[in-house]
């Protein structure tokens, strides 16, 4: 029996619970590695960073750019410690009638925060398809669900939505213009971040969490485990087997690579930093710590 590395649960804040996180719990990997994990779905990156700052969250799954913004704007000593995969399960969607890039030009672009996170990804997608961001009206529209509502209401022309909303996108008669994974295939998908305070006080917990996700990703990538994987996701999320299969398939289709090593992870985070610099003129350092990924090496 594994000796617990901590007698305190590790509180993890996510936007949505990934299939691999569900598999790690279902396989008992957290327990095997000596930790207990409490997962909380949060409404936005601001809540995540506030949680890390105040100690109500110990780990978050977030965009590396949210980490960079917190470092620059709030002076938070937060950083990414694990990149599980690359490829974003995000879709750039047009409201009813906006079904070509030409119809996007000059319209309202809905993003979480115009100067952070996936907004820069949206700008790259628009630019790559001949749309001038400067000629559009970029507006802040909260969460992915709120952007979906704004698209349905016709309040914005384009918004970046989670691929988990594919069914609702189709039902509402909206148009998927492009997938983020095609535009920025190197962008980290699931990136786990923490604060320096947690890393210094609970380094073994962070190591146990890293190994658990790493091993769950390896296991989930083996086609021989497909049926059991589906069952774990269905059980953890309290959904049907068919719904679990759709989640697993959607996440798999968005991935461009899995389990990048320390060098590849550092390069991916550095590219996010370069994107931020290109759009804001801000440079940031220290947003990735390879210590726990390096410890995975045999």
CATH of residue 99's domain is 3.40.190.10
The answer to whether residues 81 and 200 belong to one domain is yes
- Cα 163 to Cα 10, 27, 147, 180, 286: the distances in Å are 28, 26, 13, 10, 30
* Domain annotation covers residue 4: no
pLDDT tens over the chain, length 298 residues: 456 666 689 999 998 899 999 999 999 999 999 999 999 999 888 899 999 999 999 999 999 999 999 999 999 999 999 999 999 989 999 999 999 999 999 999 999 888 887 899 999 999 999 999 999 999 999 888 899 999 999 999 999 999 889 999 999 999 999 999 999 999 999 999 999 999 999 999 999 999 999 999 999 999 999 999 999 999 999 999 999 999 999 999 999 999 999 999 999 999 999 999 999 999 999 999 999 999 997 6
Q: What is the rounded distance in angstroms from the CA atom of residue 246 to the CA atom of residue 255?
A: 14
Residues 281 and 139 occupy one common structural domain = no
3-state class (DSSP) for residue 208: helix
CB 119 within 8 A of CB 63: no
Candidates 110, 83, 125; CA nearest to 279 is 125
Residue where a domain terminates, one of 183, 209, 243: 183
Domain boundary (183, 214, 247) is at 183
Quick one: which of 91, 106, 93 has its CA closest to 174? Answer: 93
Q: How many separate domains does the chain show?
A: 2
Geometric angle at alpha carbon 105, from 132 and 87, rounded to 5°: 70
**pTM summary value:** 0.91
Residues 157 and 115 in one domain: yes
Give domain status of residue 157, yes or no: yes
* C-beta atoms surrounding 55 within 10 Å: 12
Specify whether 100 is located in the same domain as 138.
yes
Within-domain flag for 144:
yes
Question: Which among 64, 58, 100, 69 has a CA at the least distance from the CA of 80?
Answer: 64
Question: Counting Cβ atoms within 10 Å, is residue 53 exposed (0-12), middle (13-18) or buried (19+)?
Answer: middle
- Point out which residues pair with 35 in neighbouring strands: none
**DSSP-assigned states of every residue in 130-159:** T--GGGSEEEE--SHHHHHHHHHHTS-SEE
Of 21, 53, 27, nearest to 39 by C-alpha is 21
In DSSP terms, 79 is beta-bridged to 194
């Amino acid at each position: 029996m594994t000796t617990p590395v901590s007698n305190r649960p590790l509180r993890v804040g996510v936007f949505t619970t990934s299939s691999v996180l569900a598999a790690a719990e279902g396989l008992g990997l957290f327990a095997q590695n000596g930790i207990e994990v409490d997962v909380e779905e949060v409404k936005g990156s601001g809540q995540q960073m506030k949680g890390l700052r105040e100690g109500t969250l110990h780990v978050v799954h977030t965009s590396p750019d949210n980490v960079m913004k917190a470092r620059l704007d709030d002076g938070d000593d937060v950083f990414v410690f694990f990149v599980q995969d690359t490829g974003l399960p995000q879709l750039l969607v047009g409201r009813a009638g906006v079904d070509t890039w030409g119809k996007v030009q000059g319209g309202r672009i809905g993003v979480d925060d115009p100067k952070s996170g996936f907004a820069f990804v949206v700008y790259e997608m628009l630019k790559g398809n001949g749309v001038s961001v400067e000629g559009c009206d970029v507006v802040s529209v909260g969460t992915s669900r709120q952007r979906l509502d704004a698209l349905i209401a016709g309040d914005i022309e384009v918004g970046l939505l989670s691929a988990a909303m594919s069914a609702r996108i189709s039902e509402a008669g909206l148009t998927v213009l492009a997938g983020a994974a095609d535009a920025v295939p190197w962008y980290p998908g699931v990136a786990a971040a923490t604060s320096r305070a947690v890393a210094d006080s609970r380094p073994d917990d962070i190591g146990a969490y890293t190994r658990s996700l790493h091993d769950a990703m390896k296991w989930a990538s083996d086609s021989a485990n497909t049926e059991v994987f589906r069952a774990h996701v269905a059980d953890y999320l309290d959904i049907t087997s068919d719904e679990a299969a759709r989640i697993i398939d959607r996440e798999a289709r968005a991935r461009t690579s899995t389990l990048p090593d320390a060098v590849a992870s550092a390069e991916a985070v550095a590219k996010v930093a370069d994107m931020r610099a290109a759009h804001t003129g801000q440079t940031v350092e220290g947003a990735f710590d390879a210590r726990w990924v390096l410890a995975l090496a045999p």
